[in-house]
Structure 1
Amino acid sequence: MALFFAAFLLLRRQRSIIFIIALALFWLLSSGWLTAPLLAWAERGASPVAHATFSGRAAIVLLGSGTEYDSNGRLMPKHDAIARIEKTAALYADCTHVATHCDVIVSGGNPQRHEAAEADIYLPWLVERGVARSDIVLENRSLTTYENAKLVVPILQREHYDSTILVTSAHQMPRALLDFHRFGSFPQPVISNTRRAHPGVLPRYINLVNADIALHELIGIVQFHVYRAIGWF
């Protein structure tokens, strides 16, 4: 929208065409018809396992998804983060029945500059759902998905885990796997939740939110390959 606005100001003769194109694009995104393929594209490339396999010393890596304030001013996990926490707790319960030891590594710093890091906020939510505090490892410095992998992989290597499971949302999994593979870690991907567009005639705010999330992941994937090509990653 910012690019369209700039073009509208600079290209005076084409303003009517620019306005029509911008309006059409906004409608396609907000009504869900363009958001749906964007989400599908963002999720493409990751093949999640149907059932995670635990053996020996196991690590379940939970990636952060932000925090937000509720109506009482309490800082809490966002919607996607709650889904990831619940999936992680369920995996931990399964893990404790078959593995010799199970750790949950929570990765998430404070990119939003709230009063606490994501990992610290998620901690009590995991404990409330049955994850032993002694089995939770906090990584609360990472600000991006790339940093999630960069800071978690050394923990995995240091502790010599026999099996590793990565938990995140469907839209983030392809980019997360790229980053973990970059550092030599090949975890089993487990999807916590999947976002869906809601196609229709009228605009819906949730479609714009989902489009923004999908575009963020797609741009992140392009950024990863470009940075790898020039040696920055």
Structure 2
Amino acid sequence: MIIFTLFALFSAVFVLWRRARKAIGAAGLALFWLLSSGWLTAPLLAYLQNDALRASAPRFGPRTVIVALGSGTRFDRQGTLVPKSDAMPRIATAASLYAQCKRQDLDCKVIVSGGNPQRHPATEADTYAPYLLRAHVAREDLVLENQSRTTYENAEYVARILHSQRYDSLMLVTSAYHIPRALMDFHRFGLAPQPVASNERLARCGVLPRRSNLVAANVALHELIGIAQFYVYRTLGWF
């Protein structure tokens, strides 16, 4: 967890740099309060999400492909492997777009992209598939990409699937905070999908710390670090 890593880093510097302990301690407490009370978390989320939330409605074509990105899996109280909370809006949004597409009597495909980075008994794509089928996505229109472990690999393997297919409209369904990084990766493989935000993260600003704000801050920092990593890797020629 990024927040825990930040706390550990501040603790290590606090122990090693004796002369500046007061300043380091004050800075650490201030950062923790700003994140947990929402005053720093909110602008971080806004920076990531605003463009995606203001994006125009997607345009359907005669051959439309809807790509939904995975967001992990978890075990529920009965021990059943289910999609994580952010995955459910992605599934619902992809199914809704598919229904809109079919109502226009178009050729519509849904690609679910997500492997098994958590090493659970099933991949993300295979876990999400029954939910899409129950939402009336036809089995012959559902494509499962279940090898990718990262957003970069999502883009890479989806590009391989689309390489030999013709399509007129390509849509990318994921959470609003994830769209900036996902688009960078998809552009890297020559794809220019229309972004569709399935859900957003919110911070509640106040005086008292909130666990939900720390969770949202961790998500935002993860995305920002991923974006920075993309630019570094591209500069080094790795991407």
TM-score tier, shorter chain, comes to over 0.9
Structure 1 position 39 matched with structure 2 position 45? yes
1:53-202 pair list within 5 angstroms: 53-202=59-208
What letter corresponds to residue 71 of structure 1 in structure 2? Answer: R
Q: What is the DSSP-based 3-state SS (H/G/I as helix, E as strand, rest coil) of the residue aligned with 1:76? A: strand
Identify the range of structure 1 (148-157 vs 12-21) with the bigger mean alpha-carbon deviation.
12-21
Count of residue pairs the alignment pairs up: 233
**Equivalent in the alignment of 1:205:** 211
* Percentage of pairs with the same residue: 60
1-structure distance, mates of 2:114, 2:169: 21
Q: What is the DSSP-based 3-state SS (H/G/I as helix, E as strand, rest coil) of the residue aligned with 1:126? A: helix
Match of 2:8 among 2, 15, 27: 2
TM-score (norm 2): 0.93
2-structure distance, mates of 1:6, 1:179: 34
Match of 1:223 among 220, 224, 229: 229
Instruction: State the shift of 1:153 in Å.
Output: 1.0
Instruction: State the shift of 1:24 in Å.
Output: 1.4
Identify the range of structure 1 (94-103 vs 111-120) with the bigger mean alpha-carbon deviation.
94-103
2-structure distance, mates of 1:115, 1:9: 42
Question: Is the CA contact (8 Å cut-off) linking 2:67 and 2:112 kept in structure 1?
Answer: yes
Unaligned runs of 5+ in 2: 1-6
Instruction: State the shift of 1:75 in Å.
Output: 1.1
Q: What is the DSSP-based 3-state SS (H/G/I as helix, E as strand, rest coil) of the residue aligned with 2:74? A: strand
Instruction: State the shift of 1:204 in Å.
Output: 0.9
Unaligned runs of 5+ in 1: none
Q: What is the DSSP-based 3-state SS (H/G/I as helix, E as strand, rest coil) of the residue aligned with 2:110? A: strand
Instruction: State the shift of 1:17 in Å.
Output: 2.2
2-structure distance, mates of 1:189, 1:10: 46
2-structure distance, mates of 1:63, 1:23: 36
Per-residue deviation, residues 118-175 of structure 1 (Å, max 9, x unmatched): 1111000111111111111000111111110011012112111121111011100011
2-structure distance, mates of 1:23, 1:51: 42
Question: Is the CA contact (8 Å cut-off) linking 1:48 and 1:188 kept in structure 2?
Answer: no
2-structure distance, mates of 1:143, 1:189: 21
1-structure distance, mates of 2:127, 2:71: 11
Instruction: State the shift of 1:38 in Å.
Output: 1.1
**Equivalent in the alignment of 2:3:** none
TM-score (norm 1): 0.96
